[in-house]
Amino acid sequence: MAIKDLLAVVDTGDKDEQFIKDALSFAEFHEARLTFLVLSVIPSGDYAVMWGAPYVILQDFVEAVETKEKRLVERTRLSNIEVRTISDQPGVMLTKAAVQARYADMVLFGPAETYEYPPVRRDTIESILFASGRPVLVLPNGYQPRTFDHIALGWNASREATHALRDATGIAASGAKVEVLVLDGRPSTKGHGSDPGADIARHLSRHGFATNVVTLNALEKTDAETLVQGARQHGANLLVLGAYGHSRLREMVLGGVTRELIAGAPLPLLFSH
């Protein structure tokens, strides 16, 4: 599947100049249509409880939205780029963002530090993953786009990982190399089978991908750190993960790979649910 329609999500802050450049470069490289979606949560009691209150008065909110829209329009005036804004209550905004995502092949986010309000970013990513059916790609700062000819797949034999694999093979180069990363995998009749990673590697080989099963063990590092390290050590230029194999509540309380990695990493991260 060629990438033809992209949605890049930003907020009303001014920390995302690099991400804006990266999104434009990514769209140009893939010859894709790009839409910037500006998230602007209307100040309210709910907002203050959930994320804090960034605006003292409504006028500050209005000015922030207008300033961001103007900056994006000026930044993209020579390109065929569309700018859309969602201004609404928190819950409604998250729902609308997921609806907008359905009309793109993929949704781009920058790392957490490029957003003025990281909790809004995180909740929007979650809403898009659970409600849109589209994958999310988190780009590292200063990312130079290239063909996805060497990818790493975090494989735990789950439904979510299978979804992520489908999305990844749709954008991978023909004959791409795939590192199947199996973290603490154990034989199971309901999951990995007798040889963790082997079945999915054979499946990918039948589709013309050069596969390699990499067994990983999380020792002194977290699962997320171990997966990123494994992907980088083997030279992959994309790490693919099934998102929220456990519930969001469990990950919020106990932590989890998705919860940790959606903040960003040194290489692009593709999430699907």
DSSP 8-class letter at 181: E
State the average pLDDT over residues 87-104. Answer: 92
pLDDT recorded at residue 41 = 82
pLDDT at residue 20 greater than cutoff 70: yes
CA distance 258 to 191: 20
With 0-12 CB in 10 A as exposed, 13-18 as middle and 19+ as buried, what is 235?
exposed
Q: Give 160-192 pLDDT, tens digit per residue.
A: 999 999 999 999 999 999 999 998 878 777 788
Q: Where are the beta strands (DSSP E) in the chain?
A: 5-11, 33-41, 81-88, 106-109, 136-138, 150-154, 177-183, 210-216, 238-242, 269-272
Single-letter amino acid, residue 201: A
Say how far residue 30 (Cα) sits from the centre of its chain.
17
Confidence of residue 253 (pLDDT cuts 50, 70, 90): very low
Rg (CA), the chain: 19
- Which sign does the torsion angle of CA 182, 260, 171, 97 carry? positive
Across 1-5, 91-95, 127-131, least confident range: 1-5
| Distance of alpha carbon 227 from alpha carbon 252, whole angstroms | 20
Whether residue 249 is predicted with pLDDT greater than 50 in this model: the reply is: no
Question: What burial letters (b/e) apply to 60-99, b meaning 16+ CB within 10 Å?
Answer: ebeebbeebbebbeebbeeeebebebbbbebeebbebbbe
Supply the pLDDT for residue 48: 54
Would you say residue 81 has pLDDT above 60? yes
- pTM, full prediction: 0.90
pLDDT-based confidence at residue 75 (cuts at 50, 70, 90): confident
Six token digits for residue 7:
């949605």
Element (DSSP H or E) covering residue 253: helix 248-254
Degrees (nearest 5) of the Cα angle 185, 186, 190?
105
Mean pLDDT of 192-204: 91
pLDDT at residue 241 greater than cutoff 70: yes
Predicted local confidence at residue 70, as pLDDT: 86
Residue 40's closest CA among 112, 94, 99? 94
pLDDT at 252 over 70: no
The residues, any chain, with a CB within 8 Å of residue 100's CB and separated by 6 or more, are 7, 35, 37, 84, 86
Mean pLDDT, residues 104-125 taken together = 95
Give every strand in the sheet of 238-242, ordered side by side: 81-88, 33-41, 5-11, 106-109, 136-138, 269-272, 238-242, 150-154, 177-183, 210-216
Q: Which of 149, 127, 126 minimizes the C-alpha distance to 237?
A: 149
Residues in the chain: 273
CB 137 within 8 A of CB 104: no
